[in-house]
C-alpha cells in the first residue's frame, strides 16, 4: 500500500512526478493528500482572476496560500454586468496576504483592471523577498493608469512586454534598477521601444551571463555584450535585426561561435534585405550550431540576389537552409521570413513585396520538405506556416505603429 510507505520516501518519489501525477497521487487517500500537499502546491501555478475569486470558492485555498510559490494573474477586472461585492477588496487582500513563499509571478495588466487590485499586487511584490521570476505583460491603453512598481532584487528572470509602442518608458528606470540589483539574472526580455543599449552596457559591466534573451532590435552594444562571455547563451530572439553589413558580420563572427555549444533557440530575422539574412556569407557560423531545436532567419529575394551581385538565387538559399536544419539532431521548429526590400518606401509596396516573397518561400519549403522521407520534415513545414503568420501580423503592427 502506498499509504504504508514512509512519508520521507513518498516525498522523494513525489519530486520525480509531474504536477498532474502529483494531483493523481493526492486523490489516493487522505494520508497521501497531506504528504504530497507541500510538493504539489509549491510546483503547480495558481491562476488567479478577480471574477473567479469573486464568484467561486477556491478549492484547496489553504494549500495554495501555505505552500504556493507560483502565481499567474490573468485579470483584475470584472465584466460590466457583474455587480462588484463591497467585500471584494478585502477578499483579494486576505487571499494575497499569506503568500509569503512566492518565487514567480506572471502578471497580465489590462485596461479594465481595478487600481486598488493592482496596488494589492504591487504590495505583494514589495514584500516577496523570495521572488526570483517576474513577468509583466502590459496591455493597458492608458499610461497614466499604471501603478508604480516597487524595487526588486536578486531576480533570475525579468520578462517585460508591452502591447502599445511608446509605453516602455514607464518601465525603463525600474528595470534598470532591477537589473543592477540582480547579479544572478539568467533571463531577460525587454519591451520593443526600450533603449536597450543602457541595459547591455550595465550587464557587460556587471559580468552578468544571460542564458535567455529576447530583444526588439540588434545593437552594437548587444553584440559586444554577448561576445564578452561564452558557452552560456541558450536562447536568443531578436525581433528585428538591423544595421549595415559590418554590424551583421560582427554579430555572426563574434557571437555565434562563442555560444555554439549551448545555443538551443536562435531567431534573428533581418529587417531589411542584406547580410542579416541567411546565405553563404554566414553559413559557416550557422552550421556549427548543432544543438539548435529552433532556427528562424530571413532570406533575401531574387530581386536582391540578382546575377550581377553573384549571390545565386533565393531557392538555392532556402534549400541550403533546409538541408542544414534537417541535419540538426534536435530540430523541432524552423522558419524563413522575407525581409523588406531596399528602395520601397510606401507601406503598400512593402506589404506587396513581403507577401509575394513569403508565398515563394513557403512553396519552396513545402517542395523541399515534401521530397524528404523524415517525419520531422512535415513538422518543420507546420512550424514554417505558423511562424510566418505570426511574424506577418507582428510586422504589420510594427510598420503601422
Residues 273-288 as b/e (b if ≥16 CB within 10 A, e otherwise) read bbbbbbbeebeebbee
Residue 203, all three cell numbers: 550587464
- Rounded to an integer, what distance in angstroms lies between the CA atom of residue 130 and that of residue 104? 9
81 contact partners, CB below 8 Å, separation of at least 6: none
Please report, for residues 129, 267, 321, 391, the alpha-carbon distance to residue 334 in angstroms, rounded to integers and kept in the order given: 40, 9, 9, 13
User: Distance between CA 301 and CA 305 in Å, rounded?
Assistant: 6
User: For 50, phi and psi rounded to 5 degrees?
Assistant: -65, -35
Asked if 198 and 180 count as a contact pair (C-beta separation under 8 A), the reply is no
Distance CA 267, CA 154 (A): 28
pLDDT one digit per residue (tens) for the chain, 401 residues? 444 454 555 555 555 555 666 555 555 556 555 555 666 666 678 888 888 777 766 655 676 777 778 999 998 888 766 555 567 888 888 888 888 889 999 999 888 888 889 999 999 999 999 999 999 988 876 656 667 889 999 999 999 988 776 667 778 888 999 999 999 999 999 987 777 888 999 999 999 999 999 998 898 999 999 999 999 999 999 988 988 999 999 999 999 999 999 999 999 998 889 999 999 899 999 999 999 999 999 999 888 887 555 566 899 999 999 889 888 889 888 888 888 887 666 778 888 888 888 888 888 888 888 877 667 777 778 888 887 777 766 665 554 55
Q: How many CB atoms lie within 10 A of CB 323?
A: 12
Domain ranges of the chain: 1-42, 230-401
Rounded Cα distance between 343 and 345, Å, is: 6
Please report the pLDDT score of residue 370 as a whole number: 80
Burial class of 109 by CB neighbour count within 10 A (0 to 12, 13 to 18, 19+): buried
Distances (CA, A) of 295 to 142, 222, 323, 328: 36, 19, 12, 10
| Residue 279 DSSP one-character state | S
φ, ψ dihedrals at 357, nearest 5°: -65, -40
Amino acid at each position: 500500500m502506498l499509504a504504508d510507505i514512509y512519508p520521507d520516501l513518498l516525498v522523494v518519489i513525489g519530486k520525480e512526478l509531474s504536477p498532474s501525477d502529483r494531483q493523481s497521487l493526492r486523490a489516493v487517500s487522505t494520508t497521501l493528500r497531506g504528504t504530497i500537499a507541500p510538493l504539489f502546491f509549491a510546483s503547480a501555478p495558481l491562476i488567479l482572476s478577480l471574477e473567479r475569486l469573486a464568484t467561486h470558492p477556491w478549492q484547496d485555498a489553504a494549500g495554495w496560500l501555505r505552500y504556493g510559490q507560483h502565481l499567474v494573474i490573468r485579470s483584475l477586472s470584472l465584466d460590466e454586468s457583474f455587480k462588484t461585492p463591497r467585500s471584494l477588496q478585502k477578499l483579494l487582500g486576505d487571499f494575497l496576504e499569506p503568500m509569503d513563499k512566492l518565487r514567480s509571478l506572471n502578471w497580465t495588466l489590462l485596461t479594465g483592471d481595478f487600481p486598488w487590485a493592482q496596488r494589492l499586487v504591487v504590495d505583494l511584490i514589495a514584500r516577496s523577498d523570495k521572488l526570483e521570476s517576474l513577468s509583466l505583460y502590459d496591455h493597458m491603453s492608458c499610461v497614466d493608469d499604471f501603478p508604480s512598481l516597487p524595487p526588486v532584487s536578486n531576480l533570475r528572470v525579468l520578462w517585460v512586454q508591452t502591447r502599445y509602442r511608446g509605453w516602455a518608458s514607464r518601465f525603463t528606470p525600474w528595470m534598470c534598477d532591477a537589473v543592477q540589483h540582480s547579479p544572478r539574472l539568467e533571463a531577460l526580455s525587454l519591451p520593443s521601444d526600450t533603449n536597450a543599449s543602457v541595459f547591455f552596457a550595465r550587464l557587460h559591466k556587471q559580468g552578468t551571463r544571460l542564458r535567455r534573451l529576447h530583444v526588439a532590435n540588434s545593437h552594437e552594444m548587444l553584440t559586444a555584450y554577448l561576445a564578452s562571455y561564452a558557452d552560456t547563451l541558450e536562447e536568443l530572439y531578436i525581433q528585428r535585426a538591423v544595421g549595415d553589413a559590418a554590424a551583421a558580420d560582427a554579430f555572426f563572427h563574434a557571437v555565434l561561435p562563442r555560444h555554439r555549444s549551448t545555443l538551443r533557440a536562435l531567431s534573428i530575422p533581418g529587417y531589411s534585405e542584406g547580410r542579416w539574412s541567411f546565405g553563404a556569407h554566414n553559413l559557416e557560423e550557422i552550421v556549427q550550431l548543432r544543438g539548435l531545436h529552433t532556427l528562424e532567419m530571413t532570406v533575401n529575394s531574387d530581386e536582391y540576389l540578382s546575377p550581377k551581385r553573384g549571390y545565386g538565387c533565393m531557392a538555392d538559399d532556402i534549400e541550403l537552409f533546409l538541408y542544414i536544419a534537417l541535419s540538426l539532431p534536435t530540430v523541432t521548429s524552423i522558419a524563413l521570413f522575407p525581409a523588406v526590400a531596399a528602395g520601397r518606401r510606401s507601406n503598400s509596396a512593402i506589404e506587396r513585396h513581403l507577401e509575394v516573397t513569403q508565398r515563394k518561400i513557403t512553396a519552396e519549403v513545402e517542395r523541399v520538405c515534401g521530397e524528404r522521407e523524415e517525419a520531422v520534415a512535415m513538422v518543420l513545414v507546420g512550424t514554417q506556416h505558423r511562424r510566418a503568420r505570426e511574424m506577418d501580423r507582428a510586422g504589420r503592427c510594427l510598420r503601422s505603429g
